[in-house]
Amino acid sequence: MKNNLSVYVHIPFCVRKCNYCAFYSLPLCDERVMRDYTEALIRQINSIKTERPVTSVYFGGGTPPVLGVGALISVLEAIKAGFRLSDDCEITLEANPESVSLPDLKDYRNAGFNRISMGMQSSNDRELAILGRRYDLSRYKSAVRAVIDAGFENRSTDIIFGIPEQTIESLEKSVMTAVDSGTPHISAYSLSIEKNTPFYNNRDTLILPDEDTEEEMYYLLCDILKKHDYSHYEISSFAREGFQSRHNLHYWDCGEYIGFGTAAHSYCKGKRFSNIADVNEYISLSTGDYFSPTDFHVQRYLSDTDKREEAIMLGLRTDRGIRADDELLAKSKKYIDGGFAKIENGRFILTEKGYRVSNIIIAALI
């Protein structure tokens, strides 16, 4: 077992819910709830004692900056005080263009955050409005400028493809907007219409790109990013040399992590658990005498079979793939022959064509 840990902090608040969002996130709560939530987070952090080195910390959401710069920094300070962060610890803050300002970004940088993951999603104002995002292209550009001016070299940009009314040309512009911003890391996700979202409820009225167009979009963005020196190192992730997400690689490597905050997941000492997905209950549980994620979560020990299957599932997400033993080779010949996978240095690795159908291949192999 690898000894190092990652830490995840979940901030579940957003200014408004986007039309496609199925994450556990809430519209902005009143200041008292946000303050109580910050205190609950710090109590949970203080309840954990470990000497294991932490190599990455990730503040995700939700839209973490809506908690406020002072609150986020106080949570980071609690993590620094309670955990042994490695000297080169990657500390990421997720943000949206409308949620950052230069003074705040400078404060985040000075406090130790060293990576910003920005949700651009599209550079087309009409598509942003359809998604229910709260900014336009010019706001995105000024946010990028502020992130750079505040001294963040390590940056990531999220893009969505398959947006209603999106065209090949508009996707190309979005990808090039991200590339031109100099971001060294890009995550690109295909839009999925999830239950209990406005998109799902209005699905009959959405003008979605058809399957062929969506596939064309996927290969187009892969080609553009390859031409601009991004390696496709994970199903949805592209990075320039030295800028792969350490935090995500740790997950995909089956590394252990602790999640703080409502709905956050943990994997520690071979056991999976998750915190309760209710802000108010999370806050009230945190005021007990003894506060630990193990008080109120779903717990599961992973059996050897679970671990083997997870290693396949997670390993095949990345360009490191999994060890190609005889059993795997026997099962996977048709995928190699069909161009969905390749063998390199004794590893079985999905190709870009394989990434498109990774769920089917993974299900067949486990």
Give the binding site for ligand SF4 (CB under 6 A).
Answer: 14, 17-18, 21, 23, 25, 61-63, 96
Q: What is the DSSP letter of 288?
A: S
- When the beta carbons of 23 and 200 are compared against ligand SF4, the nearer one is 23
- When the beta carbons of 57 and 131 are compared against ligand SF4, the nearer one is 131
- When the beta carbons of 63 and 177 are compared against ligand SF4, the nearer one is 63
Cα–Cα nearest to 249, from 185, 153, 190, 336: 185
31-46 and 279-286 helices cross at what angle (nearest 10)?
50
| Minimal distance, residue 66 CB to ligand SF4, in Å | 9
| Minimal distance, residue 98 CB to ligand SF4, in Å | 10
| Minimal distance, residue 72 CB to ligand SF4, in Å | 16
- When the beta carbons of 16 and 84 are compared against ligand SF4, the nearer one is 16
Could you give the CA distance from residue 220 to residue 297 in angstroms, rounded to a whole number? 42
- When the beta carbons of 55 and 122 are compared against ligand SF4, the nearer one is 122
Residue 209: partners with Cβ closer than 8 Å, 6 or more residues away: 162, 163, 166, 167, 217
**Phi then psi dihedrals of residue 168, to 5 deg:** -60, -45
| Minimal distance, residue 231 CB to ligand SF4, in Å | 26
- Asked whether the CA dihedral 61, 62, 68, 71 is positive or negative, the reply is negative
Could you give the CA distance from residue 230 to residue 235 in angstroms, rounded to a whole number? 13
- When the beta carbons of 178 and 322 are compared against ligand SF4, the nearer one is 178
326-337 and 358-365 helices cross at what angle (nearest 10)?
150
Could you give the CA distance from residue 356 to residue 338 in angstroms, rounded to a whole number? 13
Give me 153's structure tokens: 């070299």
| Minimal distance, residue 94 CB to ligand SF4, in Å | 8
- When the beta carbons of 169 and 194 are compared against ligand SF4, the nearer one is 194
Give me 235's structure tokens: 């199903």
- When the beta carbons of 17 and 271 are compared against ligand SF4, the nearer one is 17
Are 114 and 154 in contact by the 8 Å Cβ rule? The answer is yes
- When the beta carbons of 61 and 209 are compared against ligand SF4, the nearer one is 61
211-227 and 168-180 helices cross at what angle (nearest 10)?
30
| Minimal distance, residue 61 CB to ligand SF4, in Å | 5
Residue 236, classed as helix, strand or coil, is: coil
Residue 302, classed as helix, strand or coil, is: coil
Pairing of strands 322-323, 298-301: unpaired
Could you give the CA distance from residue 184 to residue 172 in angstroms, rounded to a whole number? 17
| Minimal distance, residue 129 CB to ligand SF4, in Å | 13
- When the beta carbons of 66 and 365 are compared against ligand SF4, the nearer one is 66
- Asked whether the CA dihedral 175, 178, 180, 185 is positive or negative, the reply is negative
| Minimal distance, residue 37 CB to ligand SF4, in Å | 15
| Minimal distance, residue 36 CB to ligand SF4, in Å | 20
| Minimal distance, residue 46 CB to ligand SF4, in Å | 27
**Tally of CB atoms within 10 A around 294:** 13
